[in-house]
Structure 1
Amino acid sequence: MRRIRAAAAVVVTVSTLAGATACGGGSEAGGSNESPKTLTYWASNQGPNIPADKKILTPELQKFEKQTGIKVKLEVVPWADLLKRILAATTSGQGPDVLNIGNTWSASLQATGALLPWDKKNFDAIGGRDRFVDAAVASAGAEDKDPSAVPLYSLSYALYYNKKMFADAGISKPPATWDELVADGRKISKNGTSGKWGLGAEGGNLSNNIHQAFVLAKQHGADFFDASGKPTFTSPGAVAAVKQYVDFMGKDKIIAPGNAEYAQNQSLSDFSKGKTAMVLWQAAASTFASQGMKPEDWGAAPVPVQSGTPGQGKQVDSMVAGINMAVFKNTKNTKGALQFVKFMTSTDEQQILNKAYGSVPPVTAAQSDPAFNSPGVKVLKDTLTNSAAPLPQVASESQFETTVGTAIKGLWADAAAGKAITTESVKAALTKAQQQMTQ
């Protein structure tokens, strides 16, 4: 997701999800076959702040109202609150007609039965499934079921770097491997004595913790779930991945200790202010611009790998990130909701919105715009095509983000406090997280 970030703050069991009921939305219409007068829409915070999202979305919603006569009541929900709000809506019956969800939550929310399944009939109502990139649709729910949502914005991770800080440190190109990243980071951080830091992180951002640990685990030949969906958090590869990530602060000293408590976007702020030289993030161009950075101030490169180069059959260097658009199953506005999804996923709107957010259109025809071949966006697009993998499409994925994300947060706190991060301490934290999954 852009950001599929600090999302899961509630522990959700599969049994709770399976027993949840859908919500009705705010329709002024009497039923799904009537032409609704209004729709309620929960949008995710995609831009640098909520006012920026409202500025981007409002004229497009007004355009939709002019075309259809349907007014869209917009609420932009922060990522830290979005999953909690959605889960509360599935049980309370009070929620929107249409909403954005992080694509990593698709299988979890699909298991509630609350979302409208995107079968052939519903896909046909918005122009057909074949308009969308296959990988984006594959991240919209379990493989053996109709997708629970439709792709809206596609994303992957990139390594963003400050060109001036690199030049000042005598670094001529971005690192391609983690060893190179650590070496470059040490040149800048100078063991924590320079006043600047090599890499930014967000230890308090549970979903970001998961995204980085997932990629490193794939590079160590591990997954966090087996083929049957059973958690395997304590496998040697998973433990090595989490340790490697937290070691950037504890052992390598290229991340500031204060990052252990950072939440959403704080690492981007430090990067924009020249406090850190590198950051691992999804589409960040709009945030950098809002904080005074010029396009020539920063560069974007593929996320490093253990050795060699990223690419299919080589090494994964990103999770398949993105935002999906879902409809609550028992909305009284089904017809209007489908019209709205069709509008938002039309080629023209896909180009407008994805350009505004610096993301990649999951609608293939929209990618023809030259804007999506700019250096920053091209890295994201190439990564999605060649070297990204979807997070586990299991019903307990949201709980995974909470339990393992929290375990990593605790390890960050230990590293910041100067405690040794050992294989044993990482395994103990992940063992506790795995036990919580089975309760």
Structure 2
Amino acid sequence: MRSVRAAAVGAVTLSLALAASACGGGSATNGGSDDSPKTLTYWASNQGASVEVDKKVLRPELDKFEKRTGIKVELEVVPWSDLLNRILTATTSGQGPDVLNIGNTWSASLQATGALLPWDAKNLAAIGGKDRFVDSALGSTGARGQDPAAVPLYSMAYALYYNKKMFADAGIAKPPATWAELVADGRKLSKNGTWGLGTEGSNPSENIHHAFVFAKQHGGDFFTADGKADFTNDGAVAGVKQYVDLMAKDRIIAPGNAEYAQNQSVSDFAKGRTAMLLWQSASANLKSQGMSEDAYGIAPVPVRSGTPGTGANVNSMVAGINLAVFKNTDNLSGAKQFVKFMTSDAEQKILNTAYSSIPPVRSAQADAAFNTPANAVLKDTLASSAAALPQVADESQFETAVGTAIKGLFADAAAGRAVTTESVRTALEKAQQQMPAK
């Protein structure tokens, strides 16, 4: 899932009893049809610096698809603040697109509604087969043991972006590899109106991504092996507290970041107001804000000790965007053709270059454009030290409940109120109480 968005806000309830409703004008009883063979509607997520940037990236490619197939694609770029609730409404109202982008962390939750086309062996064969996609991306396409609810479109990973000049001026020779080093460097850099690190404390999904990694590094998780919410275990509590303490205790994040939810931390980094940024595949976003690639370095997200890897040294969630089809589309054949087009090698190179993401298609990923030093950090992270967020039906409620709880803890930190192990555990306990009963 991409961090340029604000999180979907509000209590989201995904019922397993939801019927797979008609979308794109299709019939709820026919499991998809080809009644409208010459048109498709497509909801794209806001991947670039603005909705207008996305339109400029996507429109030429959609026109190319129309020229090849005769199928016109009606595009709407949906802001992240609206996307999840728009999709949920479409699953029940019958008023939705034929094809859409979903944050990969939502895959299992949306799969549970029954509204999305399952990508079984036959459907995957129509777009070149399952083996075209890298394993880490396929791991975030739905619940284990079920056919994928979507196919990977863009892959991303978190990295540490650091301002080279600010580091040199502070006498810091290399980027921090551990959190202790990051805090020490951050304190050297937090002076004269600048801050060591930026974050989006009011963005629930951004909070979840970091909390997931910090919890993993403390040996914790937010769900048990059988999919039950477990927000108050020691590892989860310690991970959340360490993340919030970057503002509350370590004081390397500006208190004002507690209100950030719309890319402000990226803007601060691009303008030299902060020296470090933890972000997903940020190069295109930084370029759009006028920051030269020569001005910053990219390093793996720190770990508690040692080097990034699996288990307690996980340093990123598997971030990304998946492409899904409502299974009752009026143009099932065209929707499959569109997915095949968007995941073709040629389009994967064009689109992932535009968004500074990594192609989840193996053959496209091998292209020289994705083997720069900057992309090497992201590819290595995805290959060896990233983990998928829990692929459970309640994942979207988890993002809302725990992400909002962390938002409240950042507000406490910004206001000077104590953030303690007890207050973190209490906030997470309240979040767990909001989850559906099992």
1:379 equivalent in structure 2: 377
1:132 equivalent in structure 2: 133
Superposition CA RMSD, Å:
1.6
| SS in structure 1 of the partner of residue 253 of structure 2 | coil
Instruction: For 1:154 and 1:108, locate their aligned partners in 2 and report how far apart those are by CA, in whole Å.
Output: 19
User: Aligned AA for 1:140?
Assistant: T
The answer to whether structure 1 residue 18 and structure 2 residue 43 are counterparts is no
Kindly state the Cα deviation for residue 17 of structure 1 after the two structures are TM-superposed: 4.5
For residues 96-245 of structure 1, the aligned pairs below 5 Å read: 96-190=97-191, 194-245=192-243
For residues 328-367 of structure 1, the aligned pairs below 5 Å read: 328-367=326-365
Instruction: For 1:359 and 1:244, locate their aligned partners in 2 and report how far apart those are by CA, in whole Å.
Output: 28
Kindly state the Cα deviation for residue 35 of structure 1 after the two structures are TM-superposed: 6.6
Instruction: For 1:38 and 1:47, locate their aligned partners in 2 and report how far apart those are by CA, in whole Å.
Output: 25
**Which residue of the other structure, out of 267, 276, 282, is the alignment partner of 1:284?**
282
Kindly state the Cα deviation for residue 314 of structure 1 after the two structures are TM-superposed: 5.7
Instruction: For 1:353 and 1:107, locate their aligned partners in 2 and report how far apart those are by CA, in whole Å.
Output: 25
| SS in structure 2 of the partner of residue 101 of structure 1 | strand
What is the identity percentage for the equivalent residue pairs of Structure 1 and Structure 2?
Answer: 73
Kindly state the Cα deviation for residue 242 of structure 1 after the two structures are TM-superposed: 0.6
**Residue pair 2:343, 2:361 contacting (<8 A) in 1 also:** yes
The answer to whether structure 1 residue 56 and structure 2 residue 57 are counterparts is yes
**Residue pair 1:45, 1:77 contacting (<8 A) in 2 also:** yes
Instruction: For 2:360 and 2:264, locate their aligned partners in 1 and report how far apart those are by CA, in whole Å.
Output: 28
Kindly state the Cα deviation for residue 32 of structure 1 after the two structures are TM-superposed: 2.0
Kindly state the Cα deviation for residue 371 of structure 1 after the two structures are TM-superposed: 1.2
**Residue pair 1:249, 1:415 contacting (<8 A) in 2 also:** yes
Q: TM-score w.r.t. structure 1 length?
A: 0.96
**Residue pair 1:220, 1:241 contacting (<8 A) in 2 also:** yes
**Residue pair 1:159, 1:300 contacting (<8 A) in 2 also:** yes
Instruction: For 2:291 and 2:131, locate their aligned partners in 1 and report how far apart those are by CA, in whole Å.
Output: 38
**Residue pair 2:4, 2:49 contacting (<8 A) in 1 also:** no
| SS in structure 2 of the partner of residue 437 of structure 1 | coil
| SS in structure 2 of the partner of residue 18 of structure 1 | coil
**Residue pair 1:10, 1:399 contacting (<8 A) in 2 also:** no
For residues 390-405 of structure 1, the aligned pairs below 5 Å read: 390-405=388-403
**Residue pair 1:5, 1:206 contacting (<8 A) in 2 also:** no
Kindly state the Cα deviation for residue 80 of structure 1 after the two structures are TM-superposed: 1.1
Kindly state the Cα deviation for residue 232 of structure 1 after the two structures are TM-superposed: 0.7
User: Aligned AA for 1:356?
Assistant: A
Q: TM-score w.r.t. structure 2 length?
A: 0.96
Instruction: For 1:386 and 1:108, locate their aligned partners in 2 and report how far apart those are by CA, in whole Å.
Output: 26
Instruction: For 2:101 and 2:16, locate their aligned partners in 1 and report how far apart those are by CA, in whole Å.
Output: 18
| SS in structure 1 of the partner of residue 102 of structure 2 | strand
Instruction: For 2:345 and 2:182, locate their aligned partners in 1 and report how far apart those are by CA, in whole Å.
Output: 38
Instruction: For 1:362 and 1:148, locate their aligned partners in 2 and report how far apart those are by CA, in whole Å.
Output: 16
**Which residue of the other structure, out of 421, 424, 437, is the alignment partner of 1:423?**
421
| SS in structure 2 of the partner of residue 116 of structure 1 | coil
Instruction: For 2:208 and 2:274, locate their aligned partners in 1 and report how far apart those are by CA, in whole Å.
Output: 21
**Residue pair 2:140, 2:388 contacting (<8 A) in 1 also:** yes
**Residue pair 1:197, 1:277 contacting (<8 A) in 2 also:** yes
- 1:93-118 Cα distance to aligned partner (Å, 9 max, x none): 10000000000000000000000000
- Runs of 4+ aligned structure 1 residues displaced above 4 Å come to none
